[in-house]
Amino acid sequence: MNSSSPKTFLVCHGAWSAGWAWKKMHPLMAAAGHRLVTPTYTGLGERAHLANPSIDLETHIEDVLNVIKYEDLRDIVLVGHSYGGMVATGVADRARDRVVKLIYVDAFVPEDGQSLFDLNKVAVQKRADSGDGWRVPPNPTPPDTSPADQEWLSTRRVHMPIKCFETALKLQGGALTLPRSYIYATRITPQDTFGPFARQAKGDPAWGYHEIDASHSPNVTAPEALMTLLTKIAAEPAR
């Protein structure tokens, strides 16, 4: 992929969220000549009416794979945010001929056979216990989120099917060897959920590592800074 050519960025969004949460990024990407594709998983966002107890991680991986298939996406820069790191890892595994780079934005980085509960059960289980048995209520937004953005987010975020967190990732093609980068949001929450993944990436020469002065959802609170990082990483030569 030519470093100066337009890129196709495909987003695997976070839990409770949807493609709409990347609204601020679309004009920035378009102005730079890039394409940003932000599909919504089954049961969330504008597809909330499809929510049911059977939805799991596999459903969401298939959602994104079908976007790749039917939109005929190629040379993809795949972006996984938060829970979307689980989805993006599964998508990259099954679409290795379509994905050229994989970028985790403050995201979970699972290994084969791991579920999100394996990586962060305590925090998520606490939220799950306040749900209705098959759905998990949203986490609160970070304190540096503006009042306008808090209102925008809170009226659109919906409960998450718990099976998405319970399902183990099953890699079909062995270990991933795609060029990978990690963006760590340094305005961390007290539990620092994503610090372990960031430190692992930082210490691994096979990974690119970057930090952003933002809280957990820079696509909402720091879109320009995230845009700069994503395009910089996409233009870097493969490691």
For the annotated catalytic residues, the residue numbers are: 82
CB atoms within 10 A of CB 92: 24
